[in-house]
Chains A and B, each alone.
Chain A
């Protein structure tokens, strides 16, 4: 009779273990701990590429040496920022997360509409916080317009789009996008909501723009944050990753109080809120994760 001990815990997918330098897994965990961004196993090469670009800049030869730059060097915070820039670069495009949009249209909107059905003023307020050059608010606007003869018939939709960077806000207002930004946009949406600028560029039509108010806002400006009330939905993708724990926590608390009861907060699709706020309920939709402010605060944890 032989009794074999229970095997130790293994990751879900230790595949390619031999092909990736284990230091990158350490870096992945560090990036997650500090920023909440999780680079999945199959995307570790993207992290490795980002590191490689930084290593070249710094004339660092080995990943191990780069790890020291991220952890022991006096400028480690600055370096981590550079790395975060490298690994999130190029992620911005219209229709970036279809599962998030599906959750919005198939689950959340019916819920909000049902809840507000008895109100006289039927108004939906959405905030794209850290909207960069406008890809997210335009995507949201088009999806809301798609519902304007259905679920949202008779409703007013307001989308607030803010960013810290003036130039981004100005670019966003113009609403002109090239192939790369439109790579996930279907022909249907391109034809319906854009006009042609030239061979390679499309511009969002006035009826889409009409839904959105663009402005500059610093999420760390407490006095201004207090005014952003009455939101039903807040999207803040790949923005908080650059904040330190304390600032992040403060911004998230603002978001919580800016939301209406029953409202939702979304991060980027590989981003986590970690444990920075215990009032939000973590909720899963098919393929998407959101944070819910319960409809009545007493009913908190059921």
Chain B
């Protein structure tokens, strides 16, 4: 039974025709990001990005957001790479591409809300990993940005079923994940995984998408999955959730994810979670601004 659900999802995702043109630079860039840094050529990235004028312009605007650490908009992609580092620019490009892949539409889930959560989670993941030695901040950013991509698939492939799930979540003020289970019998984790596999995303990112609600299933990248899980919860508790009140008490330090992460990163214990939360609050407004810059005024207005 379970396999047949998975097969249906895969089948439907394989045949998604409605995803509007993914910018051409998206998939090659994803492939590059999955490979080790040493193999990535700056010129190649700059060439790819500059190929698409819209994307390039958007990237510069995003790179100029204080959230990415620059006080001024860089003049060129190359300039952005020099100031921010190649890998951060890559993640910016991917952010912009995703915005184009899923532009504002008449969705069951408000796209502005979706992007604020995704971008917020990406930021929190990166910020979190900066506090931990030997954590890959840009990888964490990608994990955060993409973790809920299944909600987009739900909007495109299962719009009616998903609308029911959202209605239940809002009405009962429960997590969307639980409402999906109750109404659809599957969740954004499965639909997201199908898209991630279609896009041939790296294994660790696939695990983030598939297991961020069921950590125990992660074998390839448990600490990355745990990091995204915790950041996701924190965002939902700090005005970067899904736009409704979730009746939840979140004890991050007692969450199994905390122990998984602490096993790999001993310095996790030194993180001042309250101050971290206050710092996240400071970024909320900028995340709103960025979402309107990247994902269009339509998304921002809703």
Contacts and interface: CB of A to CB of B under 8 A. Distances in A.
Interface in B267-291: 272-275, 277-283, 285-286
Interface string B76-111: 000001111111100000000000000000000000
A201 to B, nearest CB: 34
A67 B269 CA distance: 31
B236 to A, nearest CB: 8
A287 B239 contact: yes
B254 A4 contact: no
A2 B85 contact: no
B184 interface: no
B282 A40 contact: yes
Interface string A75-119: 000000000000000000000000000110011101100000000
Interface in A244-302: 270, 272-275, 281-287, 289, 292, 301-302
A283 B250 contact: yes
B252 A284 contact: yes
A38 B248 contact: no
Given A13-B286, A106-B245, A7 B85 contact: yes
A38 B84 contact: no
Interface string A7-43: 1011111110110000000000000100000101110
A13 B251 contact: no
A120 interface: no
Contact of B247 (A7, A9, A106, A302): A106
Interface residues of B, number: 54
B66 A2 contact: no
B253 A4 contact: no
A283 B66 CA distance: 29
B109 to A, nearest CB: 18
- From A1, A13, A273, A289, residue with most partner B Cβ within 10 Å: A13
Contacts of B38: 3
Interface in B28-83: 37-38, 41-43, 66-67, 69, 71, 81-83
B249 A14 contact: no
Interface string A165-177: 0000000000000
A200 interface: no
A7 B84 contact: yes
A6 interface: yes
Chain A contact residues, majority secondary structure: loop
A274 B270 CA distance: 11
Contacts of A106: 173, 245, 247
Interface bracket on A: 35 or more
A17 B69 CA distance: 11
B219 interface: no
A9 B278 contact: no
A5 interface: yes
A285 B67 contact: no
Contact of B282 (A18, A42, A292): A42
A281 B41 contact: no
A111 B253 contact: no
B265 interface: no
Contacts of A283: 249-251
A11 B69 CA distance: 8
A272 B38 CA distance: 43
21 contacts: A2-B41, A4-B42, A4-B81, A4-B86, A5-B85, A6-B87, A6-B138, A11-B279, A13-B286, A14-B71, A15-B66, A15-B286, A40-B279, A272-B278, A282-B253, A284-B234, A284-B251, A287-B237, A289-B274, A301-B253, A302-B254
Given A11-B282, A12-B123, A282-B252, 12 more contacts: A4-B85, A7-B85, A7-B88, A10-B69, A12-B282, A13-B279, A18-B71, A32-B275, A103-B249, A272-B278, A292-B251, A301-B253
